[in-house]
Chain A
Amino acid sequence: MLGEGILKGLAETAKNFFLSYVSAERMTTVEYPEQRIAPIEAARVFPFLVYDGADWAAGLRCVSCQICEKECPPKCIYIEKSKDKKPDALGKPQFYPARFDIDISVCMSCQICVEVCPFEAIKMDTVYELSTTDRFGGLLLDREQLAKPNAYYNEIHPTEAAKVDARLAAEKAKANAKANAAAAAATGGV
């Protein structure tokens, strides 16, 4: 009959109205600044640079190969290669970034830099409260602001970081074995 649907709809909304005062699970609102939902592991906001050890300047995994700079679709990464080399985690002399800037006002959080990086040096961060009163300088992050320890990476993306750590450890063990073998061969030869 005409009007039946309207009555059904009215009953439904009345039910919503009254039950919202009774049942807590109906109300799904999270009142943000006071309440927060637990961070989600797969979340990604802007990239950061991973370093090993205690000193960020010495432990940066980045070797300044500039692949991420070239692949970045909005061109928000700026890298200046160092003139000298210093040993990386495996003890091999490598270049390091003399400057590494990411303009997060331009970054579109696509994660392409992370995917192309052969050195596991750049990863996605989960910090999202980045508002600033200075929209130029405040949103241009330099090397020091971007550098975060591996422990932090393990904390925000545990599964992913465990895999990366395992792979790096295997690589390091292989390199060590090779070096040991070479050393043994060298000593055996003499």
Chain B
Amino acid sequence: MITTLDQIFVLLQHWLVSFLPAWLQPAASVLLSVVVIVCLFPALFALTTVFERKGLARIQNRLGPNRTGPFGFLQPIADGIKSLTKEDIVPSTADAAVHFLAPIVLVVAVFMGFAILPMGRNMVLVDMDAGLLFFFAMGASTELSVFMAGWSSRNKYSLLGAMRAVAQMISYEVPLLMSSVAVVMITGSLSLTKIVEAQDHYTWGFPHWYIFTPWGFAGFVMYAISATAETNRSPFDLPEGESELVAGYHTEYSGFKFALFFLGEYLAMFSISGVGTTLFLGGWSAPFSWLGWVPSWIWFFSKMFLSIFVFIWLRGTLPRLRQDQLMNFAWKFVLPLTLLNLMVTALWRFLGEGWERWVYCSAILLVAYVGMGLLGMRRGNLGPRRYRYAE
């Protein structure tokens, strides 16, 4: 019974495909999974927008949307109808072909990232050996679409937004990759299913998730920071800073193309949260061994939504960074720490079992964090800043 519930989607897929002739079955089963992914995540996106608006409202002691349907939960449908019926404006001087392609390229690239996500036991579309590499390659190609959008619009705000976006995404791509490499070093595999399996065992009922190790914790924090920047979420939402850039690279988009950008952004957030969950939070494995009877896909999606909640929480808390603060933070703080984290991971690997490796690794990371923090604060790179003119 428990296994049936755990594998219900896999069994359902096998059952549906079994009606087809044998030569059609492999293609049909892939197509079915693709359709499910393409329908499921936009639906989650719609839910997330309304939860985000309500959550942010509560953080500011407001009510949030409550007019459309019960508690305002039909708001995304109203938003969807609105964006579909709006006029699709293309600027007369815009490069029409590139302007049209940019949102499509973004959404396609983002959807590709979901192919390698293990959403439950045996629930992965393509079990690639180099899954993580594929994910980051797809993530990097979203930068292209952002620049396409900014360049083809022929608008100074779009172009400035796109340049900021590309600078930011390239800068944070490095720590994002570096913090994930630590996991690959320990697991010895780029396959995300292998990474989850490596974390899916327990000592005294507690799981061996990588976040519960010194290098894993540091890596997770840096992964979270870089992921926030990579998906252009607040406080790193400079490419869309409405106070200075109207709406950034999608200023000249309206109607459904704008909705596609919006969708792409949220889907990127989902996939990057999913990969973060898989790398550091044990993917679909249960948090305690006695909770093993709960279906694995429930754990994956609850962990993913927990990450989304943290994204929203951060958005409700932190003000936007300035461009130089953003760059300083990436190159002078996060990147050196991720490099150090790689060393610490190697040390962890070669110290072997025992208590020593916990002490040494934690101490090195803690000293580095505090020391670099103090240094950065003294220089004024990271700490609170005094403005001569605003005293």
Contact = CB atoms under 8 A, between A and B. Distances in A.
Interface of A: 1-3, 5-6, 9-10, 12-14, 16-17, 20-21, 26-29, 31
B373 A1 contact: yes
Nearest to B375: A2
A10 B313 contact: yes
* Interface SS, B side: helix
Contact of A16 (B60, B376, B383): B60
Interface in B366-381: 369-370, 372-374, 376-377
Contact of B383 (A2, A10, A27, A29): A2
B113 interface: no
A13 B377 CA distance: 24
A13 B382 contact: no
A18 to B, nearest CB: 8
A2 B59 contact: no
A31 B57 CA distance: 14
Chain A interface mostly helix, strand, loop or mixed?
Answer: helix
Contacts of A16: 58-61
Contacts of A6: 317-318
Contacts of A31: 63
Contact of B62 (A10, A12, A13, A29): A29
A13 B313 contact: yes
Contacts of B382: 2
Contacts of B383: 2
A9 B318 contact: yes
- B contact residues, range: 20 to 34
B371 to A, nearest CB: 10
A13 B58 CA distance: 9
B61 A2 contact: no
16 contacts: A1-B374, A2-B373, A2-B374, A2-B376, A2-B377, A10-B317, A12-B317, A13-B316, A13-B317, A14-B313, A16-B58, A17-B58, A20-B59, A27-B61, A27-B63, A28-B61
A94 B301 CA distance: 82
Contacts of B317: 6, 9-10, 12-13
A161 B155 CA distance: 57
Given A9-B318, A10-B313, A26-B61, 6 more contacts: A2-B376, A12-B317, A13-B313, A13-B316, A16-B58, A20-B59
Contacts of B61: 16, 20, 26-28
A13 B316 CA distance: 7
Interface of B: 55, 58-63, 313-314, 316-318, 369-370, 372-374, 376-377, 382-384
A13 B314 CA distance: 9
Contacts of B318: 6, 9
B62 A1 contact: no
B56 to A, nearest CB: 9
A162 B91 CA distance: 61
Nearest to A26: B61
A148 B316 CA distance: 49
A144 B52 CA distance: 51
A176 B60 CA distance: 63
B316 A2 contact: no
A16 B382 CA distance: 27
B70 to A, nearest CB: 16
Shortest beta-carbon contacts, A-B, top 7 = A2-B373, A13-B317, A9-B317, A20-B58, A13-B59, A26-B61, A17-B58
A18 B341 CA distance: 36
Contacts of B55: 17
Contacts of B63: 27, 29, 31
A75 to B, nearest CB: 36
A21 B370 CA distance: 37
A1 B58 contact: no
B31 to A, nearest CB: 42
Contacts of A5: 384
Nearest to B235: A6
Nearest to B370: A1
